[in-house]
Amino acid sequence: MSPQGRALEPIARLADRVAPGALGLLLAGFVLLDYYGERPGRAGGALIIAFAAITGTAAATARHRLWPIFAVTAPASLLFSWWPGFIVASYYAATTLRRRAHLALFTAASAVALLGLPVLYDTSGLEFALGPGFPTSAFDGVLAVLFLVGLPLVAGLWINARRQVLAGLAERAERLERDQAARTERARAAERTRIAREMHDVVAHKVSLIVLHAGALEVGTSDQDARDTAELIRATGQAALTDLRDVLGVLRSPPAGRPSTALPVLGELGRLLDQSRSAGLPVRRRDEGTPRPLPAAAERAAYRVVQEALTNVHKHAGGAATEVVLRYRPDHLELTVANEPPADTQGAAGPPPPGAGLGLIGLRERLELVGGRLDAGPRPDGGFTVRARIPTTAEEPA
């Protein structure tokens, strides 16, 4: 919907509520002006006022209950000649009655009442008990039928047809939207499956080869340091394969009910630090405040911050001493990972692993999803600090 449409929507709802009551007041006032003013001193004045009130009430409720306006119009046609209640009755008959036979019956009965009753009263020497006392002609009767029945019927039929067209268009739009959403979801599922297949065929295969070669080196070498290093490579590769299977499971969208692998939490932070220490990174941990259970989303975000920060230290700072600090605040967790300036890397085994440079960007987006904040940057002494603030007052989707 356009902004103009949204701005006018409250006005349209108000007009929709007010319209039935306004129609009832208008019809009651028209009855009083048309009939009571003709015979102000007549004894039936009170009855005219009562009919005006009943007709106005019936017109105000005709949208929900059609029979009261019909019930008032029928006897009124015998008492008042060309009764204005036909206007409201004809309009709502056209917009409410679904069967053509019922609409044709109403139209015929209304025409007979407006054309036949004046002729019958005139030929029998009678007059309408509460209606005007002036004689009527056939031409006037035809005009009355056209004005009181024909025009309201045409207007009601047009509005009813327009409503049906709009309802059909709305239903078609909803169906197209559902189809488009289904096609989009199928395309996304196919793309996720393709990515998962590529990751399984390429990445998982190569990591598996690394694990196998590390295991063979661990068994075949007699050097204890080489054996320990090979064991570390094998264990790290197996952990990487486990994490990769978790990612592939998310990409393939496992059916509901299939047990999902537990996601990392702060309780596994010690194991993560031990892996870094085994790889030659001097890292220590310090907790401030009273540790307490945190929402799962907050714990996962904190774990990923430490994991990515340590990975960056391994890649860019060699064996620089690193400190991980967790500060438990009343409504948030403050997490800091700071490393000293990198040591002399001339003895490094090789160039740092390749990276896309998107790790910190991904962390910042992850923290924004849980209402947190990430700050990262170099220090004047050449070190690097990653600082995260993670809300802990409510569970947020990660």
Indicate the number of domains in the chain.
2
- Residue 253: per-residue pLDDT: 60
In angstroms, rounded to a whole number, what is the distance separating the alpha carbons of residues 91 and 233?
84
Inside any domain, residue 248: no
Q: Give the ranges where the chain is alpha helix by DSSP (H).
A: 3-31, 45-60, 67-80, 85-96, 100-111, 117-123, 138-145, 151-198, 205-220, 224-251, 269-278, 296-316, 359-369
- Full strand arrangement of the beta sheet holding 373-378: 283-288, 322-328, 332-339, 384-391, 373-378
25 assigned to some structural domain: yes
- CB proximity list for 366: less than 8 A, separation 6 or greater: 301, 304, 398
The torsion of the CA quartet 352, 357, 361, 362, rounded to 10 degrees, works out to -70
Helix (H) / strand (E) element for 303: namely helix 296-316
Any domain includes 275: no
Q: What's the CA gap between 391 and 138, in Å, rounded?
A: 84
Query: What is the Cβ-side half-sphere exposure of residue 50, based on CA atoms within 13 angstroms?
Result: 7
Rounded-to-integer distance, Cα 223 and Cα 212, Å: 18
Last residue within a domain, chosen from 109, 136, 163? 136
Residue that terminates a domain, selected from 80, 114, 136: 136
CATH number, domain of 364, equals 3.30.565.10
Q: Which of 118, 83, 114, 89 is nearest to 102 (CA)?
A: 89
Place of tokens 């019958």: 120
309, part of any domain? yes
Residue 33: C-alpha distances to residues 76, 86, 135, 278 (Å): 16, 16, 19, 100
Rounded Cα distance, 110 and 108, in Å: 5
Measured CA to CA, the distance from residue 158 to residue 164 in angstroms comes to: 10
Say if 233 falls within a structural domain. no
**Averaged pLDDT in 10-residue chunks for the chain of 398 residues:** 60 72 79 67 69 83 82 81 82 85 86 80 74 66 84 88 89 90 85 78 76 81 83 82 75 53 75 84 90 86 88 81 92 92 56 58 83 90 91 60
Structural domain including 62 reads 3-136
Distance CA 142, CA 115 (A): 7
**CA neighbor of 382 nearest in space, from 352, 339, 348:** 339
DSSP strand pairing (384-391 vs 373-378): antiparallel
Per DSSP, the residues of 264-291 read P-GGGHHHHHHHHHHTT--EEEEEES--
Burial (Cβ within 10 Å: 0-12, 13-18, ≥19) of residue 12: exposed
Question: Is 8 inside any structural domain?
Answer: yes
Rounded Cα distance between 118 and 78, Å, is 9
Token pair recorded at residue 230: 């090979």
Of the candidates 239, 374, 364, 385, the residue with the CA atom closest to the CA atom of residue 317: 385
Pick the last residue of a domain from 136, 160, 194.
Answer: 136
Residue 366 falls within a domain, yes or no?
yes
C-alpha to C-alpha distance for 357 and 376, rounded to whole angstroms: 13
Amino acid at 345: T
Distance CA 298, CA 167 (A): 46
3-state secondary structure of 130: coil
Give the 3-state secondary structure of residue 341: coil
| CA–CA dist 171, 168 (Å, integer) | 5
Angle between helices 205-220 and 224-251 (to 10 degrees): 160
Supply the Cα-derived Rg of the chain in whole angstroms.
42
On whether residue 314 sits in a domain, the answer given is: yes
List the beta bridge partners of residue 375. 387
Contact 320, 297 (CB under 8 A): no
Pairing of strands 283-288, 322-328: parallel
